[in-house]
Amino acid sequence: MKEEFYIYTLPNGIRCVLKQVRSAVCYCSMTIGAGSRDEVAGEYGMAHLLEHTLFKGTSKRKAYQVNCRLENLGGEINAFTTKEETVVHATVMRGDFRKAVELIDDIIFHSTFPEAEVAKEKEVIYDEINMYKDSPDERIYDDFEDLIFADSQLGHNILGRKQTISKLHSEDIRSFVKRNYTTDRMVFAAIGNISPKSFTAAVERYFGTEIASRKAADRVAPGPVAEFSKVVSHPSHHQARCLLGKRAYPLDDKRRLALILMTNILGGPSAASRLNVALRERNALTYCVEALYTPLSDCGMFTIYYSCEKDKLEQCRAVINSEMERIMTEPLTARQLSVAKKQFLGQFTISAENNEAYMLGVGKSVLVYGTVDSLDEIYRKVSEITPEDIMEVAKDILPSLSSLTYK
């Protein structure tokens, strides 16, 4: 049987993975295991600033040449930063795949970070920070993470603060690159109508010529944090917003899939999720409620978010507590579990049809696990989850949630 993924490791340690599909479009990305948690005191916001300035010129290209290289061909290149990764990704027509590989190689390994361009990009980031401050639905998540991961590498905002960013310069960026952009922490992924032979030739031609490097410093898992309940006054806001949550399982924990399924049942994207039915459909208490589970390399975070009129906060919380108690004490029937599994797998399979999003997931999977589960393997693992597994993770995660409220 033909393998779903072709995985190839270059001599310098860069892992490369290809999924062949019949398409005129090719999606590719370089996932680098370096994010905001790899910053040290005095450089918070560095990973994000670096992501921006990767596009500001290389040893052979000016900034406008970087930006126009693929766009003039009808394609695009972009990047984003998370707590644990920086990802540079491109979308091109199939015939321009090698051009995309060459450009990604150029900006990751040969960016020059001109001081004048860095200064200009800081102003752009200041505006991004201001925009984020005007978005309480987003800001509450970052403020909650600062509390739940207090005094750890994860306990600071990805964007950073203006005061710190203003003190960062080109030499600081180059130092961060040298320390964190190592070949052993890089995965190049592509999805498109590309043969393994053409794929191998392209990655060897460009990425294969880069010098091997290894990351010296290991990440430190966050220490324990006390349960908290914090209220922040926002008298100008018409709505109250509340985020409940606690630490959860890391990426390699066997209970991870059961927690994903429990989260989906409780407050996932379906209109039939228990919290949406109880809060919105039955009681008309809120327009927005959602539960999320975010796994990281050595920990994770489970959250429930809701917004409502300020005088309905406690009523919403009582309904949420009731639904959490129900999923902890009442095992799912065979039919309920079957529907939950079909719903989750349907969502997953449909999302896999989005080749760009799927490609980004493939890159992270190889970075973390060294491999990618096939759809059949994911179906098998989900099929093995029992009602007892759901109750076990619910009893472990749902009691004693911390809270942050904007009121």
Mean predicted confidence (pLDDT) in 17-31: 96
Q: Tell whether the model's pLDDT for residue 3 goes beyond 70.
A: no
Model confidence pLDDT, tens digit, residues 67-92: 999 999 999 999 999 999 999 999 99
Model confidence pLDDT, tens digit, residues 187-238: 999 999 999 999 999 999 999 999 999 988 788 999 999 999 999 998 888 8
The answer to whether the CB of 278 falls within 8 A of the CB of 324 is: no
State the pLDDT confidence band at 1, using cuts at 50, 70 and 90. Answer: very low
Nearest-angstrom CA–CA distance, 53 and 28: 20
Model confidence pLDDT, tens digit, residues 247-272: 999 999 999 999 999 999 999 988 89
The answer to whether the CB of 327 falls within 8 A of the CB of 390 is: yes
DSSP state of 24: S
**Mean pLDDT (the chain, rounded):** 94
Q: What's the pTM value of the predicted model, to 2 decimals?
A: 0.93
Q: Tell whether the model's pLDDT for residue 170 goes beyond 60.
A: yes
pLDDT of residue 147: 96
The answer to whether the CB of 309 falls within 8 A of the CB of 240 is: yes
What Cα–Cα distance (Å) separates residue 336 from each residue in 45, 77, 174, 290, 327?
Answer: 44, 43, 53, 20, 12
The answer to whether the CB of 192 falls within 8 A of the CB of 27 is: yes
| Domain architecture of the chain: domains with CATH | 6-209 (3.30.830.10), 229-406 (3.30.830.10)
Task: Indicate the length of the chain as a whole number.
Answer: 407
Q: Tell whether the model's pLDDT for residue 403 goes beyond 60.
A: yes
Mean predicted confidence (pLDDT) in 102-125: 97
Mean predicted confidence (pLDDT) in 295-310: 96
The answer to whether the CB of 44 falls within 8 A of the CB of 36 is: yes
